[in-house]
Amino acid sequence: MRPSSSPSDGLLGGLSGVPDVDAELTDRSLLRAMLDAEAALARAAAEYGVLPASAAEAIAAHCRAERYDPVSLGRAADATGNPVVPLVRELTAAVPEHARAWVHVGATSQDILDTALVLVTVRATEPLLRHLDIAADAAARLADTHRRTVLVARTLGQQAAPTTFGLKAAGWLVGLVEARARLVSARALLPAQLGGAVGTLAALGPAGLAVSDRYAERLGLATSPLPWHTRRQPLIDLAAALGGLLAATGKAAVDVGLLAQTEVGEVTEGGAGRGGSSALPQKRNPVDSVLVTAAARRGTGLVATLFATAVQEHERAAGAWHAEWEPLLDLLHVAGGAAARSARMLSGLQVRPERMRANLDETGGLVLAEAVAARLAPLLGRGAAHDLVSRAASRPPLRAALLADPEIRAHLSEQEIDEALDPHGWLGSADRFVERALAAHRGTRS
C-alpha cells in the first residue's frame, strides 16, 4: 500500500498531485475509510437485531484511525493479501470482550476494502471538482472575452482558416463541462459493497438485505442490486470518467503549450517566478501545460489497467481485484493534479490578440482562400471556383494574385475581394457556438 505520507510529498509526487485531493488518498485516509465501513456495518447489523446494540457501539468507538498504525498493518497484510485481515484482528483485540465476537460480522475483506475505496473516491473528488469548476469558470471567461478575437485555426499541423480564440476556449470549456458531468454521475452511482464470503450474506441470516441497504445508507453511498465483487462496472465507469477528465484537461494543456511556442507566441502562462530553466536564463516554460499533459499521458495506462482487471472469475477474483487498488488511487491523484493545474493555467493565461492577428496575416491572406472560393462558387460552380482560387493561391500574396487574375476579376470587384479577405467575415457560427458553450456552463451552476 501507499506510504503514510501524502502522495504530494516527496520529490516527484507534488508535480502530479495537489495537496487537498491527495490528503484524501493517504494510507491514513484509507484506514479511516475502512474503519468507517466497519462501524457502519456494526451499527446497521445492530438495528436489525443481528448483534447487540452495546456491542455495535463498542466496536464503533474503537473505529478511530489514530488508534492503528497503517505501516504495521501494511506489513502484516503481506501474510493475508490485503490489509483488512490484520485490521480486523487489531480491532477485535481492542474492543471489550463482550463485543469481540461481533467485529466484522457477516462481511468479507473485499466488502470493507471496496467500500473504503469508494469512500476515499467520494471524499477525494470533492476538492477535485472544485478545481475543475475553477478551470471551467476561467475557460468561460476566456471564451466570452475573446468571442471576436481572430486567430488562425490549425488542422493537421498547418494553418487552415480563421476562427476565434473565444471558440477555441469554448472547446476547452465544453470538454471540462462534459467531463464534470460524467464524473459527478459515476461518483453518485458508486455503491457500498456488502456480500459476505461468496455474495449471499448468509452469515447475516434473514436480515442480510436490510442490513446491506442500511449499511450503504449510513455511509451515504448508493446501494447495488446485489454484491459487485466480480462485477466491476462501478469502477470502470469511474475510471472512464477520470480518464475523460484527463483527456479534457490534457486537450487544453496541449493547445496552450503549442500556442505558447516561441514562434507562435499567442499566449503565455501567468505566474511570476514560474517556468524557469536550469540552463537557459531567457526561458519561460509553460509549466502547467507540461504537467497537465504529463498527467493525461500517464492516466491512459491507469485507466487501461482498471479496465483490464474488470474481467474477474466466479464469485471472488484471484489477483484482478488486488490489481485495482493502487491504480485507482494513482488515477485520482493525477486527475486531482490535472484539475488544479488546469485551473491555475487557464485563470492566469495571458492572451496576445496582436500576435494572433499577425500569425493569421503571415501567409498573405491564403487562409481566406476558402472565403474567396465561396463567393465565386454560385457564379462558376464549386469545382471551377476552387481551381481558380487554388491557381491564384500559388502566387501569394493572395490579394494581389486575385486582383491580377482576369477570370476572377470578371466576377469579383476589388471591394468584394477585400470583403472576402476580411477574417471577421469568415467566422461562420463561431459566436453562436461560444454562446452555446457558455449556456452549457451556466447550466452546471443552476
Q: Is residue 317 part of a domain?
A: yes
pLDDT, tens digit, 9 for 90 and up, residues 32-60: 999 999 999 999 999 999 999 999 999 99
Q: Is residue 175 part of a domain?
A: yes
Q: 409 and 347, same structural domain?
A: no
Q: How far apart are CA 241 and CA 185, in angstroms?
A: 9
Q: 262 and 189, same structural domain?
A: yes
Q: 326 and 196, same structural domain?
A: yes
Cα–Cα nearest to 253, from 152, 154, 333, 175: 175
Q: In sequence order, what are the residues at sequence separation of 6 or more whose Cβ sits closer than 8 angstroms to the Cβ of residue 318? A: none
Q: What pLDDT is recorded for position 204? A: 97
Q: 220 and 178, same structural domain?
A: yes
Average pLDDT over residues 292-315: 97
Strand partners, 150: 164
Q: How far apart are CA 338 and CA 288, in angstroms?
A: 9
Q: Is 2 a catalytic residue?
A: no
Considering 32, 43, 316, 341, which one is annotated as catalytic? 316
Q: In sequence order, what are the residues at sequence separation of 6 or more whose Cβ sits closer than 8 angstroms to the Cβ of residue 44? A: 211, 212, 214, 215, 217, 218
* Residue 61, domain extent: 13-354
pLDDT, tens digit, 9 for 90 and up, residues 396-421: 899 999 999 999 999 999 999 999 99
Q: Is residue 445 part of a domain?
A: no
Q: Is residue 435 part of a domain?
A: no
Q: 314 and 377, same structural domain?
A: no
Q: Is residue 441 part of a domain?
A: no
Q: In sequence order, what are the residues at sequence separation of 6 or more whose Cβ sits closer than 8 angstroms to the Cβ of residue 255? A: 168, 172
Domain of 308, CATH number, reads 1.20.200.10
pLDDT, tens digit, 9 for 90 and up, residues 182-235: 999 999 999 999 999 999 999 999 999 999 999 999 999 999 999 999 999 999
Q: Is residue 2 part of a domain?
A: no
R_g of the chain, CA atoms, integer Å:
29
Q: Which three cell numbers stand for residue 38?
A: 466497519
Q: 398 and 296, same structural domain?
A: no
Q: Is residue 313 part of a domain?
A: yes
Q: 371 and 251, same structural domain?
A: no
Q: Which three cell numbers stand for residue 278?
A: 536550469
pLDDT, tens digit, 9 for 90 and up, residues 70-95: 999 999 999 999 999 999 999 999 99
Tally of structural domains, the chain: 2
Q: 377 and 284, same structural domain?
A: no
Q: 401 and 256, same structural domain?
A: no
Q: 61 and 126, same structural domain?
A: yes
Q: What pLDDT is recorded for position 258? A: 97
Q: 25 and 164, same structural domain?
A: yes
The position carrying cell 471489550 is 96
Band of pLDDT at residue 270, cut at 50, 70 and 90: confident
User: The pTM is what?
Assistant: 0.94
Q: What percent of the chain has pLDDT over 90?
A: 91
Q: How far apart are CA 369 and CA 398, in angstroms?
A: 8
Q: How many C-beta neighbours within 10 Å does residue 386 have?
A: 17
Q: What pLDDT is recorded for position 3? A: 44
Q: Is residue 243 part of a domain?
A: yes
Q: Is 277 a catalytic residue?
A: yes
Considering 277, 390, 394, 429, which one is annotated as catalytic? 277
